[in-house]
Structure 1
């Protein structure tokens, strides 16, 4: 077969290259070009497909996904709501959603909402006004009206890292994670354990506290109620709780902090008291943020599988019909490091 030139068969070289231009230059039909260049399906490796892609690249063809999606009644854009991107966990979650969306040909737009349900509502309406195909919601309130309203209006959506118990939700198994963290401390010999739960208006904090209490109850350990501290999820909240625990006449030998920021705050409070993490007390965090293993005393943490949670959330949001199991839990993993220290001896020392 005689080879064809990939030069552009149009007089106007300033106009956008069309799918028909590529078809003419490659010697195939426009429908063949459309099928080969459709990035929503696995790429064909036939000689024809390779030639079409080479011709499209040489001509500078760019697929107009916006126009093709409008013809299908969608924009291939997903709105993502997070409380704040200054929170490492929320930033990691959004990046995981973005990666998962890009793999299936979607673009993501993020809006920050704070912790006020009214602000979350406003941000959601703004994104929907931009014709996103659906919403992924990581806002922190367990009880707000937005998921219910989206269900009633038939808006595709999914919750991540949280659930209201009804809407499609993808999250780590927080109860299992809280259990793993506390069981680890118990297995090291600790009985004087404090728990920093985070804000209990979030399903994450409630689940992790429930799991922690289950581990303590199974081991027959009754802890001082003042050692179960509800707070925010920030570093300063952890530091404040740490100062309170370390400033009491009796202090715990181990602390489970329901996220890594809380654990970082506890570390700061310990430094102020000249206490050594991993020696004077054991510490376990949650989420295993990238900083955790780089600290001077690497932090034992429960790893949250963000990429798996993101992919599942997209599957739930894009499902053509309601699924039978809309709430999906992904199991976390405990990552032991130096901060949880050595086993406690029978006398209670380390």
Structure 2
């Protein structure tokens, strides 16, 4: 960092300057001021940090990383940041990266495979040390391409079954959601799941089917709608299900946006969520508990997934164990009730 003063008097504060100021060795200063580790609380450490602050020293992360052959930057790819789940996931990754002395940068690509590849190459061109992909498709070729090129990467919130992946246990989550509805006495249950090309949508539906099968209940094709993950998609699915003759008494929506759309459709049709219709969402985004009728939802631990993903990306992983799943939990609220 440059000190204030006339141009001819300005200089860069170095580790040696801090060492001389605090009366310790350069190696001691380097170790204490390396913020990638747990901060030391010793008297020497306190003295060194005080000297560094007095002199205006800033650690040169870029130079340090160059010496290690790295940039200290993690690239994160998401479909969009307007989606609350993607925003929450990136924030969790950024926190996890910061704890390990890395900086996370994000790129968006929508749901288009070509845009995904272009965004990936842009991140790689910026010299990122590795990639974390929160993109949703399971039919794209990008993970295989990254494996062939030896590029460190981890998938989050989904898996292709081969690349290292950190995600929630979506099948268990789907099971918990529908088991909750069954325990409340519901037998006519519909499922609004995500797109067919998402592992999360497929796994949550599989979990729902497992719970229904255990109860001896069939899930007819007319009670399953596969759609996008947005609020508008949920609203459209809600109208389709709730306008039909013999509407379901309960709906499991495979994310909270879908559930919010269904709640809106229900209210417009004069159907009261939590009374006339039970609804369960997924991910437990912050808005879920703040709705006029607080939403029962399956909570996903984004911070646990992010920490696991960083560990997978930055540490050698044992062969044959690339997929790690965080257990979800059901949060009951007023949008579900016992059937009359």
> TM > 0.5 between the two?
yes
The 3-state SS of whatever aligns with 2:148 is: helix
- Structure 2 residue 123 is the aligned partner of structure 1 residue 127: yes
Among 306, 309, 332, the residue aligned to 1:310: 306
1:241-252 matched pairs, under 5 angstroms:
241-252=237-248
Alignment-derived partner of residue 57 in structure 1? 53
Alignment-derived partner of residue 139 in structure 2? 143
C-alpha contact (below 8 Å) 1:158/1:167 kept by paired residues = yes
Displacement of 1:320 after TM fit?
A: 3.1
1:170-209 matched pairs, under 5 angstroms:
170-209=166-205
Consecutive aligned runs of 4 or more in structure 1 exceeding 6 Å deviation: none
Among 107, 113, 136, the residue aligned to 1:111: 107
Among 240, 256, 270, the residue aligned to 1:260: 256
Indicate the RMSD between aligned Cα atoms, in angstroms.
1.5
Residues 5-60 of structure 1: CA deviation (Å, up to 9, x unaligned): xx99xx96522211111111111221111111111221222221111111001111
Between 53-62 and 13-22, report the one with greater CA deviation: 13-22
- Structure 2 residue 151 is the aligned partner of structure 1 residue 155: yes
1:275/1:321 CA distance change after superposition, 3 Å: closer
Among 68, 72, 79, the residue aligned to 1:76: 72
> Could you tell me how far apart the structure 2 residues matched to 1:17 and 1:326 are?
44
1:144/1:322 CA distance change after superposition, 3 Å: farther
Alignment-derived partner of residue 278 in structure 2? 282
Between 46-55 and 301-310, report the one with greater CA deviation: 46-55
- Structure 2 residue 243 is the aligned partner of structure 1 residue 240: no
> Could you tell me how far apart the structure 1 residues matched to 2:141 and 2:41 are?
48
Alignment-derived partner of residue 91 in structure 2? 95
Alignment length (residue pairs) = 336
Alignment-derived partner of residue 219 in structure 2? 223
Alignment-derived partner of residue 347 in structure 1? none
- Please list every run of 5 or more consecutive structure 2 residues that lacks an aligned counterpart in the other structure: none
> Could you tell me how far apart the structure 1 residues matched to 2:289 and 2:125 are?
42
Between 139-148 and 178-187, report the one with greater CA deviation: 139-148
C-alpha contact (below 8 Å) 2:85/2:285 kept by paired residues = yes
Residues 257-280 of structure 1: CA deviation (Å, up to 9, x unaligned): 000000000011011101100110
Alignment-derived partner of residue 4 in structure 1? none
Between 168-177 and 49-58, report the one with greater CA deviation: 49-58
> Could you tell me how far apart the structure 2 residues matched to 1:88 and 1:13 are?
50
- Please list every run of 5 or more consecutive structure 1 residues that lacks an aligned counterpart in the other structure: 1-6, 345-349
- Structure 2 residue 61 is the aligned partner of structure 1 residue 48: no
Residues 163-205 of structure 1: CA deviation (Å, up to 9, x unaligned): 0001000000000000000000001000000000111200000
Displacement of 1:322 after TM fit?
A: 4.9
Displacement of 1:326 after TM fit?
A: 1.1
The 3-state SS of whatever aligns with 1:302 is: strand
TM-score (norm. length: structure 2): 0.96
C-alpha contact (below 8 Å) 1:316/1:323 kept by paired residues = no
TM-score (norm. length: structure 1): 0.94
